[in-house]
Structure 1
Amino acid sequence: MFYKTIVKDHIRVPPKLFGKPVESAILEQIKHEYDGFISKDMGIFIDVASIEEFSEGKIIPGDGATYYETTFSALTFKPEMQEVICGQIKDMADFGGFITMGPIEGMIHISQTMDDFVSFSKDKVLLGKDSKKSLKIGDKCKARVIAVSYKDVTNPKFGLTMRQKGLGRLDWIPEDLGQKKDEPGQKKGEKNNKD
């Protein structure tokens, strides 16, 4: 899920930025330090939105930089357990696929792709034996987050499943939910008068 996060931190502005307006220099340093930063508590920092407030600068003898106590807002992304995400399959392997979820990827094991026996083809496609469903690179899907690990904070791991109704490749979902597919020539969303 995406969040607007308020952060308070001491920001070090190096002497090379002293020629800029103070707020611009602070913002540049915050972006340098926080864009892409991963925190177990706050998630992945996508972008620093704005500086809310900052104190008068302080210089520490022997350092040369100025320090500002700063409060700023940032856009963060933190996948939550059981959250449903939409993404696109970025890569396939014999053990499953990788789906982009915002700024990161989640892994979906081959056993979690569909309720069927699934095989992996040499063309990097997952095929369902009975359902004849397939998944390939570029397919848009809905998946549920079933595992979140920040054991290595620089490389968090996210496990996904598509083995529930309403999940999977986007064109599977209406059929899984018992909705009829549009007949040839029928406009999308138009009711079928034959019923």
Structure 2
Amino acid sequence: MYMITEAQKIVRIPPSKLGEDISDVIGALSSETFEGKLEEDKSIAVLVGDVVPEGPGRIVHGDGAVYQTVKFKQLVFALRDNEVVEGTVVEVLNFGAFIRFGPLDGLLHVSQIMDDHVDIDEGNQRLIGKESGRTLAVGDKVRARVVSIDLNEKTPQDSKIGLTMRQPGLGKLEWIEQDANKHKGDSEEDAEKSASKKGKKGGDE
């Protein structure tokens, strides 16, 4: 889930940057320093903007740099247990597929893809349901549920996220649409049969 939050932090302005425009410098340094980092609430800062200095900077003796407090707005991505996410298949391996959503990749283990035995066509980067014939390949759009989260605090992009699609309403978006249309068709057929039975019963009376 994406959110916009406000933050106040400190950036280090090296001596080589002190003669440049302060707005440009703190904007670039804030993006470089804070984007892609894990926040205290376990969200990930994706984009930093609207950076403004807060008060005078502080010079540390023997360093030569200025430590400047800054305020800014940031776009963060916060992942929660059991959250439903939509993403894209970016890699297929012999044990499953990696799904990219937001700034993270999650693992969809081969056992969590569908209620069917899955054959692996690693050469063509796709997984195939033995009975259903359904395929999952690189570039496909999917909807999955988060079942496990192990965030890497130093490198959030290397976090271990477990996903499943073996629940109602989940799967490749194309499959979800197919199932919805089939359910709609079955419902209409049942309604027609019910109406036919009622009509026949009324005629017999």
Instruction: Sort the TM-score into its range (normalised by shorter chain).
Output: 0.7 to 0.9
Alignment correspondent of 1:192: none
For 1:131 and 1:47, locate their aligned partners in 2 and report how far apart those are by CA, in whole Å.
42
Q: Is the partner of 2:184 in helix, strand or coil?
A: coil
State which drifts further: 104-113 or 123-132: 123-132
Question: What residue ranges of structure 1 are gaps of 5+ in the alignment?
Answer: 182-194
For 1:99 and 1:82, locate their aligned partners in 2 and report how far apart those are by CA, in whole Å.
16
| Aligned-pair CA distance for 1:11 | 1.5
More helix by share: 2
Percent identity over the alignment? 35
Change beyond 3 A, Cα 1:53–1:42: farther
Residues 145-188 of structure 1: CA deviation (Å, up to 9, x unaligned): 1111125642211111111121111111133342349xxxxxxx
Residues 114-154 of structure 1: CA deviation (Å, up to 9, x unaligned): 11111212433211122221111111111111111125642
Q: How does 1:107-186 map to 2 (within 5 A)?
A: 107-122=107-122, 123-150=124-151, 153-154=154-155, 155-177=158-180, 178-180=183-185
For 2:178 and 2:10, locate their aligned partners in 1 and report how far apart those are by CA, in whole Å.
54
For 2:132 and 2:40, locate their aligned partners in 1 and report how far apart those are by CA, in whole Å.
39
TM-score by length of 2: 0.80
Contact 1:42 1:76 in 2 (8 A): no
Q: Is the partner of 1:138 in helix, strand or coil?
A: coil
For 1:145 and 1:179, locate their aligned partners in 2 and report how far apart those are by CA, in whole Å.
28
| RMSD of aligned residue pairs (Cα, Å) | 2.2
Residues 43-78 of structure 1: CA deviation (Å, up to 9, x unaligned): 222110222551111212211111112222211112
TM-score by length of 1: 0.84
Number of aligned residues: 183
